[in-house]
């Protein structure tokens, strides 16, 4: 039927369909058509990912179902492993190293020893350095499992019977090439561009962000500023009260767990002042328990934003509680959408960023990030609305601020300081979600729940030990990709004519413009003309390269401009 329809479609377009087939080699199905030449900018089309040799685990207690799915996957050139129980599957996943890690796991939705959703949570809590994609295979008519599957960290749900076409589409969507991440980045930018348009009524509003963790501060403040809001930051509840005494605010975003003064205590103090009764206070919390939400409401908060922050959820909260500012004058350039082109350039309907060149593949910086084990880059970029510079900044802060957290938790547990251990685990749960470290996030979530019960120190110590090992893998991966490689010697400088000097000047101007625009293409330009820049910049080249390779574009720009002035 598909071929018949294709033949009719081709005929309607003045063409035909055909096939060339060779025994033992394969077949090529083709069609011709007469089309007008388009005047639109061509969109990028990424090649299908090479899935040959990818490792897949099929978990199903039914041997026949397990064998059938395994055969389909084998025919697609996957390396297939099988497990009949949840215990067997977890043991196999624990025993695999980075080089033999499982890329994808198919979980039957209901088995005698465990439900598929529960097994997915256990897989995520392993904190594997190379976290596999998870697919839940549900029985006919069980589409109602989707919300629970999503909450458990499952990437896709397919319903039995599994046909080859459905299986192929699912595999391609989950095991896409680096270009798929670029498309996800662009979709995030396009979606946020629409959300930002919806937020026009609140642009120019002033928001107080109360958060003690600098990584969470950067995520929330970055999103708010891209939306055209003015943002002040307070590191704890006491600082927030001091700032509110000095400035008027339209809304307060309040973290729950902070040193000096926590969110509940600060909210109670704010509500005691009549002049501040009208200011909406929105809780930011990684706890989704009803008891926590009830405490927030009783203290005087009006709404909740879960951490890690979802940009669209935050946008809805802003619109719900901030009065319409569309008629108010905007005397602050931070709240002016026209002045925000450096942060978020206009996004066209085809997903391209206006003024940006279309490259054939991922930039060198994107390639580096995509190779870091334990990171779901697509999820991390979605949380920062597709902003690569902001995401890379978060990775740097994650390494500097979180590498020693497991040791701090172990010390707190040794001293039976449950409150400090809970604050540390709670914070780690949020920041790992911000960067897309899904395996670490599930471990931190499990630890946060365990220490909040204050009942089993031995289990908490064991879980923290596992967390420490997995965190070290992610930190090492980030550092290995972001660290600069400094050459030992400087090559001799050949003679340069006038034309060569003009070319060097043009390259410098182009690099400076890219760095000023926080454009990752600066890394590609440096790589293509490394010898020229090394020769011209001398010792300043190392600072320039270090800044670009470390994703610190302001430092790289300073090195480039400093050498020019000297």
199-217, pLDDT tens digit by residue?
788 888 999 999 988 888 8
Residue 145 shares a structural domain with residue 203? no
What is the Cα gyration radius of the chain? 27
Residue 199 backbone phi and psi in degrees, to 5: -85, 10
The helix (H) or strand (E) run that includes residue 251 is strand 251-255
Residue 191 shares a structural domain with residue 336? yes
In 77-213, where does DSSP find H-type helix?
Answer: 86-95, 116-125, 146-151, 164-174, 178-198
Inform me whether the pLDDT recorded for 89 exceeds 90.
Answer: yes
Q: What is the pLDDT of residue 59?
A: 96
If one counts the domains in the chain, the total is: 5
Give the residues across from 156 on adjacent strands: 135
Asked if residue 358 is part of any domain, the answer here is no
Q: Is the dihedral of CA 122, 127, 129, 133 positive or negative?
A: positive
CATH code: domain of residue 376: 1.20.120
Residue 390 shares a structural domain with residue 301? no
Tell me how far apart the alpha carbons of residues 199 and 225 are, in angstroms, rounded to a whole number: 12
* 76 or 276, which is more confident: 276
Give the residues across from 134 on adjacent strands: 105
Strands 17-22 and 26-31: antiparallel
CB environment 293-305: b (16+ within 10 A), e (fewer):
bebbeebbbbbbb
Q: What is the pLDDT of residue 493?
A: 45
Q: At what angle do helices 498-516 and 530-537 cross, to 10 degrees?
A: 100
Give the residues across from 133 on adjacent strands: 104
Residue 468 shares a structural domain with residue 551? no
pTM of the predicted model as reported, rounded to 2 decimal places: 0.52
Asked if residue 45 is part of any domain, the answer here is no
Residue 167 shares a structural domain with residue 230? no
CB 57 within 8 A of CB 81: yes
Looking at the chain, the whole-number percentage of residues with pLDDT higher than 70 is 78
Residue 267 shares a structural domain with residue 394? no
* 393 or 411, which is more confident: 411
What confidence tens digit (pLDDT) does each residue in 417-432 have?
998 898 889 889 888 9
- Report, as an integer, the average pLDDT of 302-319: 87
Residue 99 shares a structural domain with residue 191? no
CATH code: domain of residue 104: 3.40.50.2300
Inform me whether the pLDDT recorded for 454 exceeds 60.
Answer: yes
Tell me how far apart the alpha carbons of residues 313 and 307 are, in angstroms, rounded to a whole number: 11
Token pair recorded at residue 209: 């962000």
Asked if residue 352 is part of any domain, the answer here is no
CB 295 within 8 A of CB 284: no
In 436-537, where does DSSP find H-type helix?
Answer: 438-453, 457-482, 498-516, 521-528, 530-537
Q: What is the pLDDT of residue 264?
A: 94
SS3 464: helix
What confidence tens digit (pLDDT) does each residue in 247-287 have?
999 999 999 888 889 999 999 999 999 999 999 999 998 76
Average pLDDT of the chain?
78
Residue 433 shares a structural domain with residue 311? no
174, 201, 225: which is the final residue of a domain?
A: 174
Tell me how far apart the alpha carbons of residues 473 and 478 are, in angstroms, rounded to a whole number: 9
The helix (H) or strand (E) run that includes residue 218 is helix 214-226
Largest CA distance in the chain: 84
Asked if residue 487 is part of any domain, the answer here is no
- Report, as an integer, the average pLDDT of 39-61: 69
Three-state SS string across 61-75, please? CCHHHHHHHHHHHHH
Residue 190 shares a structural domain with residue 304? yes
Residue that is written with structure tokens 């060569």 in the block = 500
Q: What is the pLDDT of residue 361?
A: 41
Asked if residue 47 is part of any domain, the answer here is no
Residue 62 shares a structural domain with residue 155? yes
Token pair recorded at residue 541: 């080249």
Residue that is written with structure tokens 């669209």 in the block = 312
Q: What is the pLDDT of residue 360?
A: 38
Q: Which domain holds residue 25?
A: 2-31
Tell me how far apart the alpha carbons of residues 202 and 199 are, in angstroms, rounded to a whole number: 6
């Amino acid at each position: 039927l598909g071929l018949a329809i294709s033949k009719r479609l081709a005929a309607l377009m003045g063409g035909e369909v055909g096939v060339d087939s060779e025994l033992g080699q394969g077949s090529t199905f083709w069609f011709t058509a007469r089309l007008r030449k388009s005047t639109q900018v061509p969109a990028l089309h990424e090649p299908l990912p090479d899935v040959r040799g990818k490792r897949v685990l099929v978990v199903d207690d039914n041997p026949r179902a397990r064998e059938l799915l395994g055969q389909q996957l084998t025919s697609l050139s996957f390396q297939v492993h099988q497990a009949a129980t949840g215990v067997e599957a977890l043991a196999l996943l624990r025993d695999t190293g980075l080089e033999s890690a499982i890329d994808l796991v198919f979980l039957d939705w209901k088995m005698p020893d465990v439900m598929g959703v529960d097994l997915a949570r256990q897989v995520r809590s392993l904190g594997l350095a190379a976290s596999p994609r998870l697919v839940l295979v549900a029985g006919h008519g069980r589409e109602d499992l989707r919300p629970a599957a999503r909450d458990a960290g499952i990437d896709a749900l397919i319903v039995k019977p599994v046909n080859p076409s459905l299986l192929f589409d699912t595999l391609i969507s989950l095991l896409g090439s680096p270009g798929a991440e670029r498309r996800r980045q662009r979709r995030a930018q396009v979606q946020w561009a629409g959300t930002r348009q919806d937020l026009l009524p609140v642009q120019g509003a002033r928001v107080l962000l109360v958060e003690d963790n600098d990584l969470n501060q950067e995520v929330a403040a970055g999103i708010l500023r891209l939306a055209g809001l003015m943002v002040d930051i307070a590191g704890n509840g006491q600082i927030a009260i001091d700032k509110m005494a000095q400035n008027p605010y339209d809304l307060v975003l309040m973290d729950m767990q902070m040193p000096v003064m926590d969110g509940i205590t600060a909210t109670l103090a704010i509500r005691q002042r009549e002049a501040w009764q009208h200011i909406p206070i929105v809780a930011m919390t990684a706890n989704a328990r009803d008891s926590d939400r009830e405490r927030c409401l009783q203290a005087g908060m009006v709404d909740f934003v879960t951490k890690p922050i979802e940009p669209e959820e935050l946008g809805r909260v802003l619109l719900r509680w901030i009065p319409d500012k569309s008629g108010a004058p905007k005397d602050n350039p931070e709240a002016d959408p026209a002045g925000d082109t450096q942060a978020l350039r206009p996004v066209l309907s085809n997903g391209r960023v206006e003024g940006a060149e279309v490259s054939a593949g991922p930039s060198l910086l994107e390639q580096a990030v995509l190779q870091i084990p334990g990171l779901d880059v697509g999820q991390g970029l979605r949380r920062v609305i597709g902003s690569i510079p902001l995401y890379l900044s978060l990775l740097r802060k994650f390494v500097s601020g979180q590498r020693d957290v497991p040791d701090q938790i172990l010390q707190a547990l040794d001293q039976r300081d449950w409150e400090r251990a809970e604050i540390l685990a709670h914070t780690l749960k949020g920041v790992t979600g911000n960067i897309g470290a899904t395996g670490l996030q599930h471990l931190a979530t499990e630890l946060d729940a365990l220490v909040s019960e204050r009942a089993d120190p031995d289990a908490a110590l064991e879980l923290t030990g596992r967390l420490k090992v997995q965190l070290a893998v992610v930190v090492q991966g980030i550092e290995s990709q972001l660290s600069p490689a400094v050459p030992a010697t400087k090559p001799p400088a050949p003679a340069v004519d006038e034309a060569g000097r003009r070319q060097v000047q043009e390259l410098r101007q182009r690099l400076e413009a890219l760095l000023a625009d926080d454009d990752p293409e600066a890394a590609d330009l440096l790589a293509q003309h490394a010898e020229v820049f090394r020769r011209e910049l001398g010792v300043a080249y190392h600072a320039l390269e270090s800044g670009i390779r470390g994703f610190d574009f302001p430092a790289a720009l300073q090195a480039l401009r400093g050498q020019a002035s000297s």
